[in-house]
Chains A and B, each alone.
Chain A
């Protein structure tokens, strides 16, 4: 990524992360992360459990101070000026972190006092829409209803940046739908940005216009939804009994089932003359987000980690 621009000077980026690294007790959690999130986008951060997604998001809301590198959110440093930055940010955590002893109305009033831009009409509207009673205690609500309360207090001040950490995790389909709808509605208001982490790739595929894959603390790749089919293709072929699939330079994410094989390859490689004939490629497909994810995770995994059984590498 180019660094000619001075950090925080651009109205183009809602989030700028430069060379962010983080260790916990010597263990690398984030490793030289560089990431830019355009204003007005819905940005999906995908990765396996433990990839570092939550750690990265916590840096953006000022909960962690960068050990190395810099983080700029909405043009400002969230650790140095939390009062300025956090008023413009909405944050919904993965963990059920709402105060269980409070009532819905208490939490709303408490949060309202923190945000000068709080929109009472919008908050009431969301309460009705989600069928939430102000008098209900949070402890008495279902997990889905608590997630809706969390969402309400994250968006009722109409944040410029909405950060959602695994918002769908463990929720029923209706609650997940409500959250996605709120994400879309937030983005529909011009100039607002949503960043959410998820491992539900079908949701990410529907909603996001940019995706970054975080794996073992590193950003493996960051791309827009339109770039994915331009960058890669999936190729498929067949071998006769006992033979091994062809060795293809730069192909990755190999899958073998019976006599059929499939791999992911850069679109420019496949455009080389006679590529298909040379390797016996029978079919080409557009790469799905799902396939991209598993191929990148398999090829980006360091040797000490055990490969999942679904992923067989040809050169293993």
Chain B
């Protein structure tokens, strides 16, 4: 797994959890897919194996992966409803950021919503042309 670890102050453990979680919820990793063994991922990322183990434990607690005693860690089946709410949850940080910045800029919420609508139709029409 080719994760990208930035040295921007975000804890390594969080970066691993975030990126694997994104791959699972966006469907890049399918139910039943194996996660790499802890040692192998630690070696390729050059991070402490305990950090990887901790990230896997976190993903397990979130119910995204399951550990098998002998065959490592694999991606769990997500129900349709569960999957929608997970996907929504992934947007929460960006939404929060948008709200905070809009307030700091003194923009009305209706104005921001209108801007979202407008950008969405712009991007859709660009996609249709190409």
Contacts and interface: CB of A to CB of B under 8 A. Distances in A.
B46 interface: yes
A177 B5 CA distance: 14
A34 B79 CA distance: 54
B48 A202 contact: no
Given A202-B7, A205-B12, A184 B47 contact: yes
Contact of A188 (B11, B39, B45): B39
Contacts of A9: none
A209 interface: yes
A207 interface: yes
Given A181-B43, A286-B11, A187 B5 contact: no
B17 interface: no
A229 B54 CA distance: 15
A185 B9 contact: no
Report the interface size class on chain A.
10 to 19
B9 A207 contact: no
Interface string A177-189: 1001100110110
B50 interface: yes
A177 B45 CA distance: 9
A290 interface: yes
Nearest to B52: A184
Interface in B1-34: 5, 7, 9, 11-12
A75 to B, nearest CB: 24
Given A202-B7, A206-B12, A286-B11, A185 B43 contact: yes
A267 to B, nearest CB: 15
B43 A207 contact: no
A288 interface: yes
A46 interface: no
A176 to B, nearest CB: 9
A71 interface: no
Contact of B49 (A184, A229, A288): A184
Given A184-B42, A188-B42, A288-B9, A208 B48 contact: yes
22 contacts: A177-B46, A181-B46, A184-B39, A184-B46, A184-B49, A185-B43, A187-B49, A188-B42, A188-B43, A188-B49, A205-B7, A205-B12, A206-B45, A206-B46, A206-B47, A207-B46, A207-B47, A207-B48, A208-B48, A209-B48, A286-B9, A286-B11
Interface of B: 5, 7, 9, 11-12, 39, 42-43, 45-51
